[in-house]
Structure 1
């Protein structure tokens, strides 16, 4: 399985390989539009496309528009919805409406490749960044939370003839323990949009053959985690059942900004873990951040089902549907 590339990085790579590419971005939505403001789709001259702007409803029409934009070098503003005469033809007859902008890269009115490079660099560094696009003269300005905090607080979208696209920090899942469950959880999380990192000091567990295409760190968790930042877009789960690996990872995680922390183990095991960690100086409030047993209670039995329950719990927390 290939390592997940987000749209910005993929667009830059394809452009650097000599392909003409265009980016389609959702600027505004009304009603039951299936994709949010900022959702993006990459269209390449070889006919391939990646990402989505409507979950499948209008992608065909957008690809045609992007193909023409690659020929002319002109950006395009598009609007699809139930009020349009071709609403049924493009498939957005559910009542929603979306407005898009299509930008060829390095052509005519399109985005300068150097700006795309800066966006990719910010994404790799896990730094939020934004672009303000003037829809009249097609000028673009890079913005940051430091220079324009109010814009980031308000979120992106179109206001008049100015479209602000906020490039958020990618979601990331850190899995401690290259065990059987991790072999199912990693691809599930990747398909859900997470960058996946697996940490395990055991070579036989953390082998490329078992986790091909994922970032695997062969080291003790307390060493590996000090080299990364567990920010508000990061979830961490421990799966080893071994306190020598799980406990240091959990101690590091509860002191971080990680939005979800989970630990594999039975209710009895979690109770013992709690007492042990409280004895080591962790506060009850900190320990309460750890979900254990990890995952939603869906009656899971197999490793794949347990992985599904874990991803469901992470999703519920991310979307504000979890208790606590």
Structure 2
């Protein structure tokens, strides 16, 4: 079968948190760089633990640690840290007035760790972290707030990694920053449900990719700005690669298109696999996968009919049910 042309839509390269990459880039360009990270919060803090701000030697910033409440003070401390190479641990109380200005009902307290690159934060360690992120390898960055010891680890924080939850470890001294690959949604079938699901998933933090060999379905005007692979699904998923941070959703209702991608998903580590169709359709799907040699446990990973049973009516509500089920599976909820 002839492979159709692949069409990739323009994407926003800053869609995901890229503080480590930016800090390394600025340091290598001779601008100096420091990473400021929220390591602890109390009350109604503006940003979650693990949020980062990058500062260069001239005070240019990217990212946020407070939504605007304390960035100015952090920048001054970061510039000093870049000059002397020493880390800073900063603690701020966010007033009710400042909190309201950034959309919160009341104030809180945040603790921010400032690490100058090439000083407290070794360049080689940051390079290893950036390389791992580029390879979609999940890692945790550990820093002992008492001794200053730093390391990257691939094991030992399974629950934190699953929940994307940075924070202090049980010893109260070690801060663990979770660096998971960005969540990715691979959708086979550019149908009406996909038109609702893709933008919803993007808002939820996913990087969506559409696979659609039928040109009229995958027309750019139906999915403005999105990545559309005009390939047969088996070839497209092989090109993309499927990993533990990928959700695979099959929407064509056509076994000729869905099944090749489904088989690839069952052989991979996708955290979620969902397939559109009635209970009767799913029974036939199970029979086909059994004939293809997959075990009952492998086939049991398929969520079909796709989505939570919320009584959905219409493409948008079905998309809500799918995204809800994806979230529940990702976060370990039954």
Same fold (TM over 0.5): yes
1:88 maps to 96
* Structure 2 residue ranges without an equivalent (≥5): 1-10, 161-166
Q: Quick one: distance in 1 between partners of 2:32 and 2:290? A: 57
1:144 is matched with which residue? Answer: 153
Shift of 1:112: 5.7
CA contact (8 A) 1:220 1:245 kept: yes
Q: Would you say the 8 A contact 1:235–1:314 is kept in 2?
A: yes
CA distance in 1, matches of 2:42, 2:62: 25
Quickly say closer, same or farther: Cα 1:194–1:22, change in 2 above 3 A.
farther
**Match runs of 1:197-208 below 5 Å:** 197-208=209-220
In structure 2, relative to structure 1, the CA distance for the partners of 1:69 and 1:217 (3 Å cut) is farther
Q: Given the alignment, which residue of 62, 65, 71 partners 2:73? A: 65
Q: What is the CA deviation profile of residues 121-174 of structure 1, one whole-angstrom value per residue up to 9, with x for unaligned ones? A: 211211123334354686x744232xxx44x45856365655342312322211
- Cα deviation, residue 314, structure 1: 0.5
Structure 1 residue 277 displacement after superposition: 2.9
Higher relative contact order, structure no. (Cα contacts within 8 Å, ≥ 6 residues apart): 2
Segments of structure 1 that go 5 or more residues without pairing to the other structure are none
- Paired residue total: 305
Q: Distance in 1 between matches of 2:215 and 2:224?
A: 14
3-state DSSP class of the match of 1:305? helix
Deviations 1:239-268 (A, max 9, x none): 111111111111221232212110112233
Partners of 2:249 and 2:46 lie apart in 1 by 30
Query: Does the residue aligned with 2:284 lie in a helix, a strand or coil?
Result: helix
* Alignment correspondent of 2:308: 296
Contact 2:141–2:151 (CA under 8 A) maintained in structure 1? yes
Q: Is the 8 A contact 1:8 1:120 kept in 2?
A: no
1:129 corresponding residue in structure 2? 139
Q: Does 1:41 align with 2:52?
A: yes
Task: Give the superposition deviation at 1:233.
Answer: 1.9
Q: Determine the C-alpha separation between the residues in 2 that align with 1:153 and 1:124.
A: 20
Match of 1:308 among 298, 320, 334: 320
Q: What is the CA–CA distance in structure 2 between the aligned matches of 1:195 and 1:9, rounded to whole Å? A: 19
Q: Is the 8 A contact 1:33 1:98 kept in 2?
A: yes
Alpha-carbon distance in structure 2 between the residues aligned to 1:48 and 1:181: 39
SS at match of 1:61: coil
Aligned CA distance change for structure 1 residues 161 and 34 (closer, same or farther; 3 Å): same
Report whether the alignment pairs 1:318 with 2:330. yes
Q: Give the alignment partner of residue 79 of structure 1, picking from 71, 91, 115.
A: 91
Corresponding residue for 1:243?
A: 255
List per-residue Cα deviations over 1:90-146 (Å, max 9, x = no partner).
53886975433234557xx564666544323211211123334354686x744232x
Q: How far did 1:237 drift? A: 0.5
For residues 9 and 302 of structure 1, what CA distance do their matches in structure 2 show? 41
With the length of structure 1 as denominator, give the TM-score of the two structures: 0.76
RMSD: 3.6
Partner of 1:186: 198
Deviation at 1:14, TM superposition (A): 7.4
